[in-house]
Every structure is written in C-alpha cells, then in structure tokens.
Amino acid sequence: MTDFVQTCARELDIATQTGEALDQLSARQAFDLAQAYRIQQAGIALRQHRGERVLGLKLGFTSRAKRVQMGVDALIWGELTDAMQLADGGELNLVRLIHPRVEPEIAFITARDISRPLSLAEAGLALAGVAPALEIIDSRYRDFRFSLEDVVADNCSSSHFVVGPLSPPDTPLDNLGVTLRFNGRPAQLGSSAAILGQPLRALMEVSALLHAEGRTLPAGSLLLAGAATAAEPLRAGLHVGVEIAGLGRCEFEIS
Ligand code: OOG
C-alpha cells in the first residue's frame, strides 16, 4: 500500500504541474479515506521538498450548494501552501490548470495554537482576524469527477487562493451577503450562513479533526472555511471579485 500511496501522490503532483488530467484513482484500485489522507500528505511532502511552506488548511463541502454540485456528502480538509497564494488584485495564469473554478469564501487567521475541540465561543476567541477570500479549485481528475476518496487524495482540488484585507476577529459573520462577480456582473449570490450555518463552525470542525488526528494547527495559520456558493468555471479575460457585506472584497484577474 505504501507504493500505491507514493505512486498516486506522484501522479497527482505531476498532473498539478503539467495540467494533464488523470483518470480517477479509485477506478484503478479501491482505497479508503485514511489512505486518501495518506496520499494527500505524501503530495504535500513533495511540495515541501520543493521548498513550499504550509500556511494552513482548507475545508471542503461545508455548504449544501457545494455538496449538491459535486454529489459528495462529507466534510473534508486539505492543506494550503505559500505557492498557492495569489496577491489580492494579482494575476492568475491559466497555463497548466486543467478546468479551474472559483468559489467565494471566508478566511480566518488563528491567534493561538489549536489542538483540542473548541466550542463556538472559543473558536471566536482563537482568531486574530477574518477576511473575504477567493479559492481557485482545479480537480486533477478528468471531467472534474471523483469519489470522496479521490478528491481527498487530490488535496481537495486546491489550486490557488486570494485573501483580502483582514478585519477584527470579532466581526459578526453569521449572515453576510456574498457576491461573486465576473467582470463586474454577479456570477453567484449567497450568504455566509451557507457555510455550516455560521462560518466560525468551520474552525470548530477543524479543531475536532485536529484533536482526533493528534495534530496542532500553529498560531498564525490560515483557514479557508469552504465555499458559500457553488463554484463557477474560469476562463481567459475574466476579472473576478468577491464582495462580502460588512467584511470587504478581494479580487484577481486572469491573464
Ligand atoms: C472539492 C473542494 C470543495 C469547498 O469549498 O467546498 C471545496 C471540489 O469541489 O472540487 O473547496
């Protein structure tokens, strides 16, 4: 199985770098969720070997819109590295991306190490700041189709992300209007409440997962709470922005 884990991690890593899609790994050999996370970790180790630095975590399928869009019904998590970050207002190059999509999100920066389950109130107190964010996802699987195990192995389709200006940690987040814009026109409309009823719950969920895994998320980490709406496909020439009422905006351009 170690060989299978390493082979899958390498193939996904090559697909990420070349932009050539893979067939679903689960079609080749059945594997379980624990093995999927091992493949994910082996892929992150390859990135770290190239000098990338882990900045934090992302959650996937925290909204119904995303679960329905992708036909998957479980919360998953992946890792974010510095090489995935685009500056706010920066340019995304589509070369070597397979079929990228964008999602409006909320980002958290943590204020303390997190390793045990937090209540909602404790989660609020564990933050240094909150920000609007855009996540660019790009499945390495043909036709953006996968099983739960496949997508976990593929680091939850992470590709790039943009984080906007930080607001104070006590900014209310429970029901903020979210507008994703393509060239100024609304492409998706939603509410922050779509993310687990209240985006702070993403940090609660992560704290329970960290505890179960015996892991610590260091202070100063980034957490993407998951998309508030379905994802929208990207194409050349787009200016993409998200506006979250009461929180602010961030944007990028496709070169
Ligand atoms: C998996 C990633 C899901 C989210 O925010 O729910 C995700 C995918 O849809 O390819 O990032």
Q: Three-state DSSP class for 210?
A: helix
Which pair of tokens denotes residue 101?
């999509």
d(CA 164, CA 156): 22
pLDDT given for residue 1 in this prediction? 62
pLDDT given for residue 94 in this prediction? 97
Give the residue, out of 80, 99, 103, with the most ligand 1 atoms within 8 A of its beta carbon, to mutate for a pocket test. 103
Instruction: Name the amino acid, one letter, at 104.
Output: P
Q: Is the Cβ atom of 156 under 6 angstroms away from ligand 1?
A: yes
d(CA 78, CA 56): 9
Looking from the CA of residue 105, the nearest atom of ligand 1 is 5
Which pair of tokens denotes residue 140?
């390495």
One digit per residue, pLDDT tens: the chain, 255 residues? 679 999 999 999 999 999 999 999 999 999 999 999 999 999 999 999 999 999 999 999 999 999 999 998 899 999 999 999 999 999 999 999 999 999 999 999 999 999 999 999 999 999 999 999 999 999 999 999 999 999 999 999 999 999 999 999 999 999 999 999 999 999 999 999 999 999 999 999 999 999 999 999 999 999 999 999 999 999 999 999 999 999 999 999 998
Q: Is the Cβ atom of 223 under 6 angstroms away from ligand 1?
A: no
Provide the CB-side half-sphere exposure for 110 (13 A, CA).
26
Domains defined along the chain, listed by start: 2-254 (3.90.850.10)
Prediction ipTM score: 0.96
Cα dihedral 115→227→138→1 (10° resolution): 40
pLDDT given for residue 39 in this prediction? 98
pLDDT given for residue 2 in this prediction? 78
